[in-house]
Amino acid sequence: MTEGAHRKTWKLSELASHVAGNLEGDGTIEITGLNSLEEAGTGELAFVANPRYLPELARTKASAVILPPDVPTEIPAIRSQNPYLAFAKIATLMQGRAAVPRGVSPDLIQGEGCRLGKNLSIHPRVVLGDNVTLGDRVTLHPGVVIGADSTIGDDSILYANVSVRNHCRIGRRVILHCGVVIGSDGFGFAPDGNGYYKIPQTGGVVIEDDVEIGANSTVDRGALGDTVIRRGTKIDNLVMIAHNVEIGENSIIVSQVGISGSTTIGNHVTLAGQVGVAGHLTIGDNVTVGAQSGITRNLAPKKRVSGLPVIEHKKWLKAASSFEHLPQIRKIVRTLQDRLTRLEAMLQNPPESSGETGGKQTPDTGKPEGGKQDDGHQ
């Protein structure tokens, strides 16, 4: 199949082959682009990866759709076990090849001993400190600043106003979005009785291959040793990662997460939006943490937790569903407490008898004690 930015249309059969999907229906249909079920029109390919959008499938005007194997449809389809991945691969294909390298801007400012790779795209107003190394096919957008003794690996892209401070190592195919700061000082201060004495942050940052970090996120350098982001991890916008944190491979860190210093996070971990992680903790592999949770203890592998402090996710859902009923529950508990208090008082101080029977009765017969029992015989 011919790939490239000049390509305007693809046959549905070509796209099915590209993602190793099963074609259903007319494979000669020409596809010009991708769109949502709701917005797609003639010539466009839609996809369904989330069951909540299935009602839109019957109303879509798309020419074809990417679907799981078991979802019925009356329009041509590409069947895939992973529709979202198939969509991603087709979107990448339609985007075309990377742009031709633009070369090095004449206003590049670089220090002594810099080593620049081949086929670079360095935009205006980029600054390189002493002994910076750039790999092949690196792209640096306007306003990027790279500190002394730092390395940027092959095929990495640093968007506008990214700052990489000294002694940082960025791997291959890394993407740093606008405003990312790598290697700023960790938050380290020693109380001296009157104020706080700044602790020198002498470590660096290591970001391994295929990591992507969203806009305005920060990764602090280590106090001693490095802060490390392992291969394939994806970090959203506005995430703060403190000194000497280590994040394992292929983890997902969603927007506004904050991770305190010296915490170790395993492989394939997901931290949803606004999760807070205390320092000096260990989070095992394949852990999932729900949004706005607070982690204050170590978590074993494969845990799925939510809440503050975190508990098992299913328990958290049950607890959360009870929150709106708490005022009513509180009122009922107070009523029951009042009734219990009155009952206890009655048991401790029983009311006195209101009258005399003329003789003490036995509990079983109710007859006067010592009297002759009348059994009906003389």
H-state helical runs in the chain: 12-18, 54-57, 83-95, 313-322, 326-348
243, 268, 325, 377: the active-site residue: 243
Residue 198 has which token pair? 């700044």
Residues 199 and 248 in one domain: yes
Please check whether residue 194 is in contact with residue 212, taking contact to mean a CB–CB distance below 8 angstroms: no
Mean pLDDT of 323-342: 92
Assess if residue 220 is contained within a domain.
yes
Residue 355, pLDDT score: 54
* 177: annotated active-site residue: no
The span from the CA of 4 to the CA of 18, in Å, is 14
User: Is the pLDDT score of 24 beyond 60?
Assistant: yes
- Percentage of residues in the chain with pLDDT exceeding 90? 81
Residue 378, pLDDT score: 41
Q: How many domains does the chain have?
A: 2
The span from the CA of 205 to the CA of 290, in Å, is 27
Residue 5 makes CB contacts below 8 A (sequence gap 6+) with: 95, 96, 97
- Return mean pLDDT, the chain: 91
**CA angle, residues 172, 178, 183, in degrees to nearest 5:** 65
CATH number for position 313? 2.160.10.10
Closest CA to 279 of 301, 294, 293, 300: 294
Assess if residue 376 is contained within a domain.
no
Residues 62 and 134 in one domain: no
User: Is the pLDDT score of 371 beyond 80?
Assistant: no
Residue 96, pLDDT score: 79
User: Is the pLDDT score of 34 beyond 80?
Assistant: yes
Residues 161 and 283 in one domain: yes
Residue 85 has which token pair? 């991945």
User: Is the pLDDT score of 84 beyond 80?
Assistant: yes
Residue 7, pLDDT score: 63
Which residue, of 265, 297, 318, is where some domain finishes? 318
Residues 148 and 185 in one domain: yes
Residues 145 and 259 in one domain: yes
Residue 6: which pLDDT band, with cuts at 50, 70 and 90?
low
378 vs 319, more confident: 319
Mean pLDDT of 247-269: 98
User: Is the pLDDT score of 156 beyond 60?
Assistant: yes
User: Is the pLDDT score of 54 beyond 90?
Assistant: no
Residues 221 and 298 in one domain: yes
Domain that holds residue 132: 103-318
User: Is the pLDDT score of 1 beyond 50?
Assistant: no
366 vs 79, more confident: 79
Assess if residue 357 is contained within a domain.
no
Mean pLDDT of 11-32: 96
Measure Cα distances from 296 to 4, 44, 137, 310 in Å.
50, 48, 43, 8
Residues 298 and 155 in one domain: yes
128 vs 50, more confident: 128
309 preceded by a cis bond (ω within 30 of 0) = yes
Please check whether residue 259 is in contact with residue 238, taking contact to mean a CB–CB distance below 8 angstroms: no
The span from the CA of 179 to the CA of 258, in Å, is 17
Q: Taking the CA atoms of the chain, what radius of gyration do you get in angstroms?
A: 35
Residues 184 and 41 in one domain: no
Mean pLDDT of 257-263: 98
Residues 29 and 151 in one domain: no
Mean pLDDT of 6-23: 91
Which residue, of 318, 339, 369, is where some domain finishes? 318
The span from the CA of 308 to the CA of 328, in Å, is 23
Assess if residue 347 is contained within a domain.
no
Assess if residue 268 is contained within a domain.
yes
Residues 31 and 107 in one domain: no
Assess if residue 225 is contained within a domain.
yes
Residues 293 and 146 in one domain: yes
Mean pLDDT of 319-345: 91
Assess if residue 326 is contained within a domain.
no
Query: What are 265-315's pLDDT values in tens digits?
Result: 999 999 999 999 999 999 999 999 999 999 999 999 999 999 999 999 999
Rounded to two decimals, the pTM is: 0.84
Please check whether residue 62 is in contact with residue 37, taking contact to mean a CB–CB distance below 8 angstroms: yes
User: Is the pLDDT score of 165 beyond 70?
Assistant: yes
DSSP sequence for 82-93 = -HHHHHHHHHHH
- Report how far apart the first and last C-alpha atoms of the chain are (Å, whole number): 121
Query: What are 337-370's pLDDT values in tens digits?
Result: 999 999 998 898 887 765 555 455 555 544 555 5
Which residue, of 95, 112, 132, is where some domain finishes? 95
Q: What is the largest CA-CA distance in the chain?
A: 136
Residue 353, pLDDT score: 61
| Strand 22-24, strand 196-198: pairing | unpaired
CATH number for position 91? 3.40.1390.10
User: Is the pLDDT score of 75 beyond 70?
Assistant: yes
- Residues recorded for the chain: 378
Query: What are 93-127's pLDDT values in tens digits?
Result: 998 766 788 899 999 999 999 999 999 999 999 99
Residues 203 and 227 in one domain: yes
Mean pLDDT of 133-158: 98
Contacts 24+ apart (CB under 8 A), 20-26: 21/66, 21/78, 21/79, 21/80, 21/86, 22/69, 22/78, 22/79, 22/80, 23/76, 23/77, 23/78, 23/79, 24/76, 24/77, 24/78, 24/79, 25/64, 25/75, 25/76, 25/77, 26/76
Query: What are 172-213's pLDDT values in tens digits?
Result: 999 999 999 999 999 999 999 999 999 999 999 999 999 999
Assess if residue 293 is contained within a domain.
yes
User: Is the pLDDT score of 373 beyond 60?
Assistant: no
Mean pLDDT of 147-157: 98
